[in-house]
Every structure is written in structure tokens, then in C-alpha cells.
């Protein structure tokens, strides 16, 4: 199995070599010039992901040189994130079970056609705002509206304080954009042991006021944690594609 990792341009330049050492094959997502530069190189802005399915803008896809196994997973959309909020959140939806959690008025019609139950929230950056432990139905967020919506749909929630996450150009970033999750959780045919699910942090969360609660919550579900170098920063997350 190859573990491809879709990373925004800024995260790629800083972490690609390091993440290669963890067994990933990083793929750079180029900055989209039509989008506010604060989030124009964020994976959670540029690509929608749900259970291995990827949706992205057609013109943007043509700029990329995706490996064939990844390209097979992509569904093309004529919609494109552009300018500033809320026009930049058309792919920023969060899939939990059979629910599509998003600012429904702002997302692409192509997401609405997936047959998922729409769960409307005020926060347009739903994916960016949430660290989702999908395989166990748990999540971490600082957004109370998202927290309430997820609880109503059976998701176990850790609600944390806002702030203490760097995002250049903004007062602060979000927990979902400052992390990504590898939920392979499968038995490798070449090894006897089970490969654990892992949460990767873009930098150390040590200075976050809820650091210990965050780590205890993640580890209570059997996930490992990896802290990459630098200040805890929202790079727009990353998307693992196992093929």
C-alpha cells in the first residue's frame, strides 16, 4: 500500500521531507491564485474528501500532476473556491458517518449530490475547524455550533478554547487545519502488528491551554500522536490517500 499525502504548498515546503520519513509520499497542492492568500494553499480549501473520494475544481486539477492511483479518486467540479469568505468554502465540508456538516448555503452543489444527510452550521470553515477521529466517531473543535451539531448526530466531542494556533494573516487558526489524521488502522501483510491510527500535529501544541485535554482525548481512543517541528500552525490540514 502507498500512502499519498495531499499537502498545501506551504506545508509541503516545510514538512515534505520529514513526512516522507513517516512513510508518506507527499504531493504538493499549488496555491490557488483565485483564493484569499491566507487559505489559498490549504488542502481543506482546495479539495473535498470523504471516504477516499476527492472533489476539486476542474481547472485546478489540470494544473496538478497527480499520480494515476490518486487521480482515479478525483471527481471534477466546475465550482471553485475564490476570493474571500464565504466564497472560499465551497469544498470545506466535514463528513461524519452519513452526515455532511457544512454551511450548506456556501458549499458546492457537487457535495450536495453525494447523498449525505445535510447538517447545517454557521461556520463555513467546518472542516478546518474540526479534528475528526472518523473511525471512532469522535471530534475536537472550538466552534460551539459545530460541537452541538455533531453531538446531535452521535459524535463524541471535546470542545476546546479558541486561539493559540498560528495562521499567518489572521488572529488565530483552527485545530483541524493544524493537524491531519492517518486512519489506516489496518494489518499490513508484511508485518504481524497492527498499524495504529495517528494524529499528526503541524508543530507543538504545548502552548495551547487545552493541550493536555486534547492529547488525552486523542489517546483515549487508541490513536498515536506525532508532533512535527515548529510553532503550532494551521496549514489547512492534509489528506491521506491510501492506494
- Full domain range(s) for residue 119: 3-242
Residue 117 has pLDDT above 80, yes or no: yes
| pLDDT recorded at residue 184 | 73
- 199: domain CATH number is 3.75.10.10
Which residue is listed with cell 495551547?
208
Q: Give the residue carrying C-alpha cell 476570493.
A: 83
pLDDT tens digits for range 49-97: 999 999 999 999 999 999 999 999 999 999 999 999 999 999 999 999 9
Task: Say whether pLDDT at 106 is over 90.
Answer: yes
- Give the tens place of pLDDT for each residue, 224-241: 999 999 999 999 999 999
CA–CA–CA angle 67, 69, 71 (5° rounding) = 65
Can you give the pLDDT at residue 188?
39
Characterise 35 by phi-psi region: left (phi > 0), alpha (psi -120 to 50), beta (else): beta
What are the tens digits of pLDDT across the range 160-191? 999 999 999 999 999 999 999 999 754 333 44
How many structural domains compose the chain?
1
CA-CA-CA-CA dihedral for 24, 98, 68, 20, to nearest 10: -10
Number of neighbours of residue 69 by Cβ within 10 angstroms: 12
Tell me the average pLDDT of the chain. 95
Alpha helices in 64-113 (DSSP H): 68-71, 109-112
- The reported pLDDT for the residue numbered 194 is 62
pLDDT of residue 6: 99
Per-residue model confidence (pLDDT) at position 193:
52
Amino acid at each position: 500500500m502507498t500512502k499519498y499525502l495531499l499537502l498545501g504548498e506551504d506545508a509541503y515546503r516545510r514538512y515534505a521531507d520529514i513526512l516522507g520519513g513517516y512513510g508518506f509520499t507527499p504531493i504538493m497542492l499549488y496555491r490557488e491564485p483565485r483564493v484569499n492568500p491566507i487559505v489559498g494553499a490549504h488542502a481543506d480549501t482546495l479539495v473535498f474528501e470523504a471516504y477516499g473520494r476527492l472533489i476539486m475544481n476542474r481547472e485546478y486539477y489540470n494544473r496538478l500532476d497527480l499520480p494515476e492511483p490518486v487521480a482515479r479518486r478525483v471527481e471534477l467540479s466546475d465550482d471553485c473556491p475564490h476570493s474571500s469568505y464565504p466564497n472560499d468554502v465551497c469544498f470545506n465540508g466535514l463528513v461524519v458517518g452519513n452526515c455532511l456538516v457544512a454551511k450548506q448555503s456556501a458549499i458546492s452543489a457537487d457535495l450536495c449530490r453525494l447523498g449525505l444527510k445535510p447538517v447545517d452550521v454557521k461556520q463555513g470553515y467546518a472542516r478546518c475547524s474540526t479534528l475528526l477521529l472518523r473511525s471512532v466517531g469522535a471530534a475536537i473543535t472550538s466552534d460551539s455550533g459545530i460541537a452541538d451539531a455533531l453531538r446531535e448526530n452521535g459524535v463524541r466531542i471535546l470542545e476546546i478554547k479558541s486561539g493559540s494556533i498560528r495562521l499567518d494573516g489572521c488572529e488565530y487558526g483552527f485545530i483541524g487545519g493544524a493537524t491531519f489524521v492517518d486512519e489506516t488502522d489496518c494489518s499490513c501483510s508484511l508485518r504481524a502488528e497492527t498499524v495504529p491510527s495517528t494524529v499528526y500535529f503541524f508543530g507543538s501544541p504545548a502552548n495551547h491551554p487545552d493541550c493536555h485535554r486534547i492529547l488525552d482525548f486523542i489517546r483515549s481512543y487508541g490513536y498515536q500522536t506525532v508532533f512535527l517541528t515548529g510553532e503550532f500552525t494551521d496549514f489547512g490540514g492534509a489528506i491521506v490517500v491510501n492506494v
